[in-house]
C-alpha cells in the first residue's frame, strides 16, 4: 500500500481525454504499459465533442510533405483500427472510406483549388498524390441522388477520404481504454508538473500522480501547460460551425468536404473558420453562409429542416500542421497538438504510441517540431 497522500504511479500519464489522449493511450496499453488519462470536467472546452467526423486526406499538408504522409498513413490504418474497436467494445464507429469530393463552384474556385493541390503535389516530388480533378459530369455520376447546383463545375476527388461518427469514436476509445486496464481520472485538472527523481509528479485537483513519461494532449490546455516544460507551442483557437439536418433517405454516398450524410441519415453541413478567441457561441450570420453555400451546391438540401447546430474551437498551429515533440529541457514530456484528432486517431494509436513507449520516432515526426515556430527564417 502506498502511504496515504502518496502519488499514484504509472508508466505514462496522459493529460487530456479528447481525441488524441485516448488514441495514444490505447497503443500504450497494447505495449503493456500502465497508463492513466488525466481529464477535467464537463465545464471545459470540449473540442472532441464538436467534430465533424471527416477522415480527410486531400488538401492536408500544404507546405509540409511529411504531414501528407502522416495523414495517408492514418487513413490507411483506419479500417483495422475501427474493426478492433468494434470487436473489443461492440461500438461501431461508422467508419467508411468511400472517397471524398470537394465540390467547386465556378472557375475561380477551380483555379484556386488546382493551384493549391498542385503545390502539394509538387512539394511531394510529383509522385503518389492520390487526388484528381473530375468534371461536373463525373461528379453527377458519383452522386446519382443529387441534383447539382448550376454553379458546380467539378470537384477534387481523393479515394483516401472517408468519415466516421466522431462521438462513437470517442466513446469506443474510452470504453476500450478502461476495458484494457487503463485508469481514467476525470476532475483531475493538472495544476503543475515537477521533476521528482526519475519521474514527474503531476499535481491535480484530484490528487497527485507520478510517471516517468507525460503526454500533454490537452488541446487548448497545452497553451498554459507547455511553456514551463519547454514546449512553447503557439496554438490558437479557430471557431467552426456545424449544422445538422433532420434524418433523410440516403443521398450522399460519400463525404463532400463540408457536407456529409451519417449512417442514420442526418446531413451535416459545416466547415466555417472564424477567429473568435475562446468564444464558442453560435453566430447566425455564419450559419446563414453555411446554409447558403449548401443550397447553392445542392439545391434540394433547402427542403430539409435544421435540427441542431453548434460551434467548436479547433486547436490550430500557425502552419495548420501538427506538433509531435519531446521537450529538450524536460525529457520524457511529450506535447501533441493537432486540429485533426479524428483523422489522425488511427496513426496515434498505432504509431505515435510506439514513439512515446521508446521506439524511434516515425520519419514524419522530423517535421512536426516546436522549433519551426521559433527559429528565425533563414
Partner 1 sequence: MMHRRNTAGERVTINIDGKNVEAVVGESVAAAVLAAGAGATRTTPVSGAPRAPYCMMGVCFECLMDIDGIPNRQACMVSVTPGMKIKRQAGARTVGGAS
> Which positions lie near partner 1, rule CB under 8 A?
145, 147, 246-249, 251, 264-265, 295, 299-305
**193 has which bridge partners?**
202
Helix (H) or strand (E) holding 136: helix 136-142
Give min distance, CB of 149 to partner 1, in A.
Answer: 8
Q: What is the distance between the alpha carbons of residues 269 and 291, in angstroms, rounded to a whole number?
A: 8
What count of residues does the chain have? 378
All residues at 6 or more sequence positions from 158 whose CB lies less than 8 Å from its CB, including other chains: 57, 58, 99, 100, 130, 131, 132
DSSP 368: S
Q: Are 330 and 230 in contact (CB under 8 A)?
A: yes
Q: Closer CB to partner 1, residue 120 or residue 290?
A: 290
Q: How far is the CB of 147 from partner 1 (least distance, A)?
A: 4
Q: Which of residues 296 and 320 has its CB atom nearest to partner 1 in the complex?
A: 296
CB 215 within 8 A of CB 12: yes
Least separation in angstroms between residue 253's CB and partner 1 is 13
Question: Cβ atoms within 10 A of the Cβ of 133, count?
Answer: 16
Least distance between partner 1 and beta carbon 310 (Å): 19
Least distance between partner 1 and beta carbon 247 (Å) = 4
From residue 111, how far is each of 153, 257, 323 by CA, in Å? 11, 18, 31
Amino acid at each position: 500500500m502506498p502511504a496515504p497522500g502518496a502519488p499514484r504511479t504509472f508508466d505514462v500519464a496522459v493529460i487530456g481525454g479528447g481525441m488524441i489522449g485516448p488514441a495514444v493511450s490505447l497503443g500504450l496499453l497494447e505495449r503493456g504499459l500502465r497508463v492513466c488519462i488525466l481529464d477535467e470536467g464537463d465545464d471545459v472546452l470540449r473540442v472532441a465533442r464538436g467534430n465533424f467526423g471527416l477522415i480527410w486526406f486531400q488538401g492536408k499538408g500544404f507546405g509540409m510533405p511529411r504531414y501528407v504522409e502522416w495523414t495517408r498513413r492514418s487513413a490507411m490504418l483506419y479500417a483495422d483500427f475501427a474493426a478492433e474497436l468494434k470487436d473489443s467494445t461492440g461500438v461501431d464507429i461508422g467508419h467508411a472510406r468511400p472517397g471524398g469530393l470537394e465540390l467547386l463552384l465556378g472557375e475561380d474556385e477551380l483555379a484556386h483549388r488546382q493551384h493549391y493541390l498542385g503545390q502539394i503535389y509538387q512539394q511531394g516530388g510529383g509522385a503518389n498524390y492520390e487526388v484528381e480533378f473530375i468534371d461536373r459530369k463525373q461528379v453527377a455520376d458519383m452522386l446519382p441522388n443529387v441534383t447539382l447546383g448550376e454553379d458546380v463545375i467539378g470537384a477534387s476527388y481523393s479515394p483516401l477520404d472517408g468519415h466516421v461518427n466522431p462521438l462513437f469514436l470517442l466513446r469506443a476509445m474510452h470504453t476500450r481504454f478502461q476495458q484494457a486496464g487503463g485508469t481514467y481520472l476525470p476532475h483531475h485538472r493538472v495544476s503543475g508538473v515537477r521533476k521528482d527523481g526519475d519521474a514527474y509528479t503531476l499535481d491535480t485537483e484530484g490528487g497527485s500522480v507520478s510517471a516517468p513519461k507525460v503526454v500533454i494532449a490537452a488541446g487548448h490546455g497545452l497553451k498554459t501547460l507547455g511553456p514551463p516544460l519547454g514546449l512553447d507551442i503557439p496554438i490558437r483557437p479557430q471557431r467552426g460551425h456545424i449544422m445538422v439536418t433532420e434524418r433523410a433517405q440516403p443521398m450522399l454516398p460519400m463525404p463532400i468536404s463540408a457536407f456529409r450524410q451519417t449512417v442514420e441519415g442526418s446531413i451535416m453541413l459545416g466547415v466555417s473558420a472564424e477567429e473568435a478567441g475562446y468564444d464558442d457561441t453560435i453566430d447566425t450570420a455564419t450559419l446563414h453562409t453555411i446554409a447558403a453555400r449548401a443550397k447553392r451546391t445542392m439545391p434540394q438540401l433547402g427542403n430539409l429542416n435544421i435540427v441542431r447546430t453548434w460551434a467548436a474551437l479547433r486547436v490550430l498551429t500557425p502552419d495548420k500542421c501538427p506538433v509531435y515533440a519531446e521537450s529538450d529541457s524536460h525529457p520524457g514530456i511529450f506535447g501533441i497538438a493537432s486540429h485533426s484528432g479524428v483523422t489522425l486517431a488511427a496513426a496515434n494509436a498505432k504509431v505515435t504510441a510506439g514513439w512515446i513507449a521508446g521506439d524511434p520516432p516515425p520519419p514524419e515526426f522530423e517535421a512536426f517540431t516546436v522549433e519551426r515556430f521559433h527559429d528565425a527564417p533563414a
